[in-house]
Amino acid sequence: MIPTQWFLILGAVLFCIGVCGVLTRRNGITIFMSIELMVNAVNLTFLAYARQFHQLHGVIFVFFIMAIAAAEAAVGLAIFISLFHHRETIDVDEANLMRW
């Protein structure tokens, strides 16, 4: 069996890649994909701990996170479509109406 901390380290690396994507990109959809990446890294961590402690709670939490990620993707992409219709861009730096 593979040690738990290797999965944790993989999850940490993927999470940081997602953080980097959110911080350095402008394209709204790419930022959104980075967020999905972070969500998946957290899922991996949940499952690694679930196996480590033989608890089903982590597995069920991941199940709920997947449902919420689906809802989030639907609403978020709808927001981007709406933004594109109004502004002709999905550059998040352009959508600065509520910035200051």
Partner 1 sequence: MINFVIFFFFAALAVIFALMVILHRNPVVSALSLVVSLFSLAVMYILLEVPFLAALQVIIYAGAIMVLFLFVIMLLNLQRRREETTRPVQQFLGFTASAAFAVALIYYLAKYAVMTLPNGPFLADARTIGIRLFETYFFPFEMVSILLLAAIVGALLLSARGLPSPDPERSEGANAPEVPGR
**Site of interaction with partner 1 (CB under 8 A):** 1-10, 12-21, 23-27, 29-30, 32-34, 36-37, 40, 43-44, 47-48, 50-54, 56, 59-60, 62-64, 66-75, 77-82, 84-85, 90-91, 93
Comparing CA positions, the residue from 4, 7, 75 lying closest to residue 40 is: 7
Contact criterion met (CB below 8 Å) for 18 and 37: yes
Shortest Å, Cβ 44 to partner 1 = 6
Shortest Å, Cβ 83 to partner 1 = 9
CA distance 82 to 90: 10
Instruction: Report the DSSP beta bridge partners of residue 27.
Output: 91
Provide the CB-side half-sphere exposure for 72 (13 A, CA): 12
Shortest Å, Cβ 95 to partner 1 = 14
Q: Is 7 exposed, middle or buried (0-12, 13-18, 19+ CB in 10 A)?
A: middle
Please identify, using beta-carbon distances, which residue of 1 and 97 lies nearer to partner 1.
1
Please identify, using beta-carbon distances, which residue of 56 and 100 lies nearer to partner 1.
56
Please identify, using beta-carbon distances, which residue of 25 and 95 lies nearer to partner 1.
25
